[in-house]
Amino acid sequence: MSTEMLKTPMEVAVYQLHNFSISFFSSLLGGDVVSVKLDNSASGASVVAIDNKIEQAMDLVKNHLMYAVREEVEILKEQIKELAEKNNQLERENSLLKNLASPEQLEKFQSRLPTDALPPLDLQEGNNPEPMAQYITGSAV
């Protein structure tokens, strides 16, 4: 149907919106654009049908986005968990190396480090209570 047959600007707008919503919804579903003729006498019903189709398309987009976000959150939670485990492993290894090193070796090593690179004294003593645990627990979505 061409826009020349439509008499009022409202009918033209409804027709254009209808074509847009059909093509948008079809592209979301991966199908071909469906051609639906708009009857001038049923423009009120067509507006409701268009609104319903737009709402369905928006719900579909929302569902896909929510799924993608949840998936990304799970991936990030897993990465945080792996990094926390790696951090704990490195802290244990560091503590073991400190215990095995002689006081002279420790003094020589610490003299090479800049003073701002040294952790606070309570962290050097091994009193660090699981700093990454706060990021692993809980639900983001």
pLDDT of residue 10: 64
pLDDT of residue 138: 54
pLDDT of residue 38: 47
AA identity, residue 111: S
pLDDT of residue 88: 98
Rounded-to-integer distance, Cα 7 and Cα 9, Å: 7
pLDDT of residue 30: 61
Q: Residues for the chain: how many in total?
A: 141
Write the pLDDT tens digit of every residue in 68-102: 999 999 999 999 999 999 999 999 999 999 899 99
pLDDT of residue 90: 98
Residue ranges in the chain modelled with pLDDT below 50: 1-3, 33-38, 121-122, 125, 127, 129, 141
pLDDT of residue 106: 85
**What are the sequence ranges of the domains in the chain?**
3-136
Burial of 67 from C-beta contacts in 10 A (0-12 / 13-18 / 19+): exposed
Rounded-to-integer distance, Cα 90 and Cα 79, Å: 16
Q: How far apart are the first and last CA of the chain?
A: 46
User: Are 11 and 43 in contact, with CB atoms under 8 Å apart?
Assistant: yes
